[in-house]
């Protein structure tokens, strides 16, 4: 009689444990993140997981691609964009918690060249030389939009000549949908020069590429906003992730990866 009473109790306890375990396994924070943040957010995500025990699943891509995915119904808890334009579009669609949105870091554009620099690119004027192979982002991806703004500024400066913009754009051999593809093509020697972020010159790439700074009067400062989504199943945890990003600990990680503090 005793055995018959104990056995169902044991089964019930095991069943409860299995349900609780399954519930814990399913608790995962989804974060849609601009490709340029891959290294920094990978590290911040690790910190978050260690502090909370909650898994973070990242989707790294061009901000415009992430926006399109969100607008088409893709689920995410947090969205971090490389410019305000894509975030504002998601905001205007009523998809984010407006009070959670904050600009958390900034970034600059630079030219990147292969380490051996076969085309001998030394300055901005060299971009207009015939035959130079340039790679940049599409006009819809933030890094491409920023690059076009820089080229326009240079084209309007008498020091570069009236045909500068036309000549530079004629040398563009590829327009990529996120900045990681731009960096990869330059690192592999498939292009002579590319427009990328200062933060893209990571330790891993230091032996493959060099950068050429763009003067501030021609450069564009990219502002990066982050926000919690209205549909998030974990709004408290999502806000906790945002809080970590903007904390001193998060800022230190971003600074290490070449981003500029707000």
CA distance 233 to 218: 43
Residues 252 and 201 in one domain: no
Residues 161 and 213 in one domain: yes
β-pairing verdict for 102-114 and 28-34: unpaired
Residues 79 and 204 in one domain: no
> Element (H or E) spanning 58, and its range?
strand 55-61
**215, 157 in Cβ contact below 8 A?**
no
DSSP structure string for 121-141: --SGGGGGSTT--EEEE-TTS
Higher pLDDT, 204 or 6: 204
Residues 26 and 83 in one domain: yes
Residues 232 and 195 in one domain: no
Residues 72 and 8 in one domain: yes
**170, 176 in Cβ contact below 8 A?**
no
Flag the least confident range among 15-19, 126-130, 132-136, 185-189: 15-19
- The domain total for the chain is 2
3-state secondary structure of 80: strand
For residues 134, 139, 145 and 149, what is the CA-based torsion angle, rounded to 10 degrees? 70
- What is the pTM assigned to this prediction? 0.83
CA distance 132 to 89: 36
Residue count of the chain, please give it. 262
**191, 171 in Cβ contact below 8 A?**
no
Residues 24 and 118 in one domain: no
Residues 118 and 177 in one domain: yes
Range of the domain at 206: 107-221
Residues 112 and 96 in one domain: no
CA distance 113 to 100: 38
CA distance 60 to 206: 22
Contacts (Cβ under 8 Å, ≥6 apart) of 52: 237, 240
**34, 107 in Cβ contact below 8 A?**
no
Mean pLDDT of the chain: 91
pLDDT digits (tens, 9 = 90+) for 102-130: 999 999 999 999 999 999 999 999 999 99
Domain at 96, CATH number: 3.40.190.10
Residues 157 and 94 in one domain: no
pLDDT digits (tens, 9 = 90+) for 216-228: 999 999 999 999 9
Contacts (Cβ under 8 Å, ≥6 apart) of 80: 31, 32, 33, 34, 37, 41, 104, 224, 225, 226, 245
Residues 112 and 199 in one domain: yes
Residue 89 has pLDDT above 70, yes or no: yes
The confidence band for 26, taking pLDDT boundaries of 50, 70 and 90, is: low
> Element (H or E) spanning 9, and its range?
helix 2-25
Q: Is residue 262 part of a domain?
A: no
CA distance 33 to 143: 14
Report the 10 Å Cβ neighbour count for 105. 25
């Amino acid at each position: 009689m005793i055995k018959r009473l104990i056995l169902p109790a044991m089964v019930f306890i095991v069943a409860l444990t299995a349900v609780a375990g399954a519930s814990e396994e399913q608790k995962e924070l989804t974060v849609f993140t601009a490709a340029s943040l891959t290294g920094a957010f990978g590290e911040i995500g690790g910190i978050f997981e260690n502090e909370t025990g909650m898994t973070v699943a990242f989707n790294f891509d061009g901000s415009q691609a992430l926006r399109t995915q969100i607008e088409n119904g893709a689920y995410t808890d947090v969205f971090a964009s490389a410019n305000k334009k894509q975030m504002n579009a998601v905001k205007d669609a009523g998809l984010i918690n407006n009070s959670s949105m904050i600009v958390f870091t900034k970034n600059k554009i630079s030219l990147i060249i292969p380490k051996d620099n076969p085309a001998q690119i030394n300055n901005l004027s060299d971009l207009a030389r015939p035959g130079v192979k340039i790679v940049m982002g599409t006009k819809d991806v933030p890094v491409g939009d920023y690059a076009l703004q820089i080229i326009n500024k240079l084209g309007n400066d008498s020091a570069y000549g009236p045909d500068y913009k036309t000549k530079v754009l004629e040398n563009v051999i590829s327009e990529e949908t996120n900045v990681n593809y731009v960096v990869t093509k330059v690192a592999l020697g498939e292009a002579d020069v590319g427009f990328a972020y200062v933060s893209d010159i990571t330790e891993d790439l230091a032996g493959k590429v060099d950068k050429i700074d763009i003067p501030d009067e021609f450069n564009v400062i990219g502002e990066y906003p982050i926000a919690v989504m209205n549909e998030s199943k974990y709004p408290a945890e999502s806000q906790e992730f945002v809080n970590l990003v903007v904390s001193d600990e998060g800022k230190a990680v971003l600074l290490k990866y070449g981003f500029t503090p707000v």
